[in-house]
Each structure stands twice: as structure tokens, then as C-alpha cells.
Amino acid sequence: MPPTSSPVSREACVSQDLSDPLRGFRDRFHIPDGMIYLDGNSLGPMPRAAASVLNRTIEQEWGHDLIRSWNSAGWFDMPVRLGNRIGDLLGAASGQTIVCDTTSINLFKAIHAAIGLRPDRDVVIAESTSFPTDLYIIEGAMKSAGRTMQRRLIGVDGPSIEALLDQRVAVVVLSHVDYRTGGLLNMEAITRRIHEAGALVIWDVCHSAGAIELAFDRDAVDFAVGCTYKYLNGGPGSPAFIYVAKAHHAAARHPLSGWWGHAAPFAFDRDFEPDAGIRRFLCGTPPIISLRGVDVALDALEGIDLAALRQKSLAMTELFIARVTALLPEVAIVTPLQAALRGSQVSIAFDKGYSVVQAMIERGVIGDFRAPDIMRFGFAPLYLRLRDVWDAADILAECVRAEVWRDPRFQSRLTVT
């Protein structure tokens, strides 16, 4: 259980770390000595078992067994098998989640499928603050929908979802956690309101899967997409996933009708006949080595208590907010202070933020920066400790007090921030 109040000293943090029910999971990951890694919301660390598993995949399955491994090593079924494992973390029954492609490609599929399920409606709602690729993909999907579609943006065309919902809305695309602020939406309540308006919903759970309890089946989610390289720790560029509620399987179609989505891909039929289930959302040959990275990452999450995960996440973000507020009352924390509205990150708006993040990295605290002025710090409960949170806040304060932005070393912008 999280503390009822934030620890008042580093010693108290260490004491509470010793009673943390998740403390054993840290040993399943490779964390360089002396590093406090607060960027798991962008790229999770490597599971300790990853190197040996990937080496076996390369040397034995590919190197020795070659094409036989599609059968003998279970390559063919990996997208579905891994999808079911991720589905357990999403609160989704088996056969509704599949690992494939990228988040962007899967979002394109989901939007097309949702638009097709509402042929008499011509509006897509999205957030103006969405991660840019979501907005780009929505734009592209609308242009290729086969009929004229209109986009309505929350925060531009109206102040809220409710203000924009009407009988013309086909689908609403939402980020469960805002990538900049870490703000968390109420999935159950919002999905219900969208359904009451007769529309469908697509949730982007890139910044919540693996850090927050989810209940897709309970909440009647229609579609969802997410990545596996953040809190799921599948490795850089590891394949994404798509969830499609079983109720939509029979009618849902998407335009990327590749052979792996065929009902019988090795029958080599001339005409496309979609698989009856979630496999219809596959497209081309899956990237097996990358899928093995996801497989071993999910092994590292085996046995996790999602409720304890969320409780620890809230304890860490609560501590960081309290400590930063005490040390740097002048900075603006843009992450919601109310626990129910907060994901597993804390974001701070600061006009010299890029330089501060770079200086913190030099001191062993890894966060990241999002333009124009957001310092982001992700708190992954599996491998972080309360003492790490305390130390990170201290180092942040030291960098701000030292005005590190005056040092030319921290002013030059890297390509990836």
C-alpha cells in the first residue's frame, strides 16, 4: 500500500522501499549503476533476460532451424499469443488484442474500421492536444475514407467532448494519458457518454498500458491502440498492439488487407477473405526478433499485481510533486494534483527546461523534454524506488538553483529531446 502521506526524509523513503511489495521486480531489469531512470514513459529499460532470449532466437531459431521455426518455435502464432498476454494487462478477454505493426498503422486501421461501422455519420472527434502522430493519422484516414469526413477538435471547435457530440459523430479518438501533462481521462465514464451518442471510441493507451489498471471489457471499449516500448519495456521500436472488441469482429474491416489477415494465409487464394477474429487486423509478415523482445518483456511483468502497481505509481508521483513544490515553489507543475486525474508521470513547465533536463542527465537522472517548455519525468513502479524519487527532486532543484542554462554544454538541442 502507498504511504498515507509522502515520506519526510530520504531515510523514510529507504525504509518504505524495504516494505514495497513490488521491490523484487527491479532485479528483472538492467538499470545502469548510479542511474535514476525517469524516462520509462518514453523507452523502458532492458529486461535482464532479453539478451539471452534474443541471442537464442537469432542463433538457434533463425541460425540453425531457419524456416522450420515458423512452426517449431511458434513464430506464426506469436502476434496472437502476445496479444493475449497484453490483453491480461488491459482487462481484455483473449482473442481481442494482437501485437503487430506500429501504433500509427494500427490507429489508421482502427479509424477506418470505426468509420465503416458508422456509415451514416461523417465526423471524427479528437483532442487538439493529442500526440501529433494521432492527428496526422486521423487526417490521413479521413482523406482515404471514401466519403467526406469532418474533424472536430476538443479545445478548438468546442471546450469538451460533450459540446461536440451529436448524431453526426462516427468515432472519437482519445489519449488515455496526455503525453505532455500526464493528465488521465476517466475511460469508463467517457466511453459511456460516447456510446450514448451512438458513436464509437478509440483509446490510445501508449502512456498507460503497463502502468495503470485498465478494464477494456468492463468499460465496453470499442478499439484501442498502444505501443510496447514504454511501460511494457519491449525495446526500441518494438511492435505495437491493437485491441478490437469481439462484438465488432464480424463487421470491422480495415484497408490494409494483407495476407496475414486472411482467413487462410497459406491457401494463397486470389481474393481476400478476412479471418473471423482478431487476426483480420494483421497485415504483413511480423517482425519475429522484435516480437521476442516483447515476449521477454512480458515475462518480466509476470505475476504483477496491477492494483499494487497503480498504488506505487501514485505514491511516487505524489512524493515528487510534494518535494519539487517544497524545493522549487516558483516552477509550474502542469500534471494534475488530484490522484484520479494523474497518470504515471509528472510534467513541469519551465522556459529553460531543455537545459535543465540535459544537466540532470549528466548527473545521472534521465528524463526528457517536450517542446516548447515541458520537462517530463516518468515513474515506472516496477524498477523505481522512493529513494530515487527523492534524489531526483533534489538534483532537479540543484540544477535550477545553479542556473545550468547559462552553460553552453546544455544549450545545444539534440535531434531527439
229 is a catalytic site residue: yes
pLDDT value of residue 6? 78
With beta carbons less than 8 A apart as the criterion, state whether 395 and 328 touch.
Answer: no
Band the pLDDT of 414: cuts 50, 70, 90. confident
Active site residue 376: yes
Asked whether the CA dihedral 16, 30, 360, 380 is positive or negative, the reply is negative
Q: For 150-181, how does the pLDDT look when each residue is reduced to its tens digit (9 = 90+)?
A: 999 999 999 999 999 999 999 999 999 999 99
Q: Which of the four pLDDT bands, split at 50, 70 and 90, describes residue 415?
A: confident
Residue 187 has pLDDT above 80, yes or no: yes
Q: Tell me: pLDDT of 2 over 60.
A: no
% helix, strand, coil for the chain, step of 5: 40, 15, 45
Cα–chain-centroid distance for residue 35?
A: 23
- Catalytic, 152? Answer no
Q: Which of 229, 243, 379, 383 is catalytic?
A: 229
Backbone angles phi, psi at 327, to 5 degrees: -85, -35
Exposure on the CB side of residue 262, measured as CA atoms within 13 A: 14
- Decide: helix, strand or coil at residue 209: coil
| Bridge partners of residue 124, in order along the sequence | 151, 171
Average pLDDT over residues 346-366: 97
Going by C-beta distance under 8 Å and a sequence separation of 6 or more, which residues neighbour residue 135?
126
List the catalytic residue out of 25, 131, 216, 377: 131
Report whether pLDDT(3) > 50. no
Residue 5's pLDDT band, with cuts at 50, 70 and 90, is low
Q: Which of 121, 180, 376, 387 is catalytic?
A: 376
Kindly state the helix (H) or strand (E) to which residue 401 belongs, with its residue range.
helix 386-401
Q: What domains can be seen in the chain, in order of their start residue?
A: 10-48+305-410 (3.90.1150.10), 76-300 (3.40.640.10)
Task: Indicate if the pLDDT at residue 4 is higher than 60.
Answer: no
**Amino acid in position 50:** A
| Catalytic residue from among 20, 134, 178, 204 | 204
Question: Which residue in the block uniquely carries the three cell numbers 515475462?
Answer: 299
Beta-sheet pairing, 332-333 with 345-349: antiparallel
* Active-site residue identified among 109, 230, 279, 312: 230
Q: Strand (E) positions, 136-269?
A: 150-154, 169-175, 200-204, 223-226, 241-244
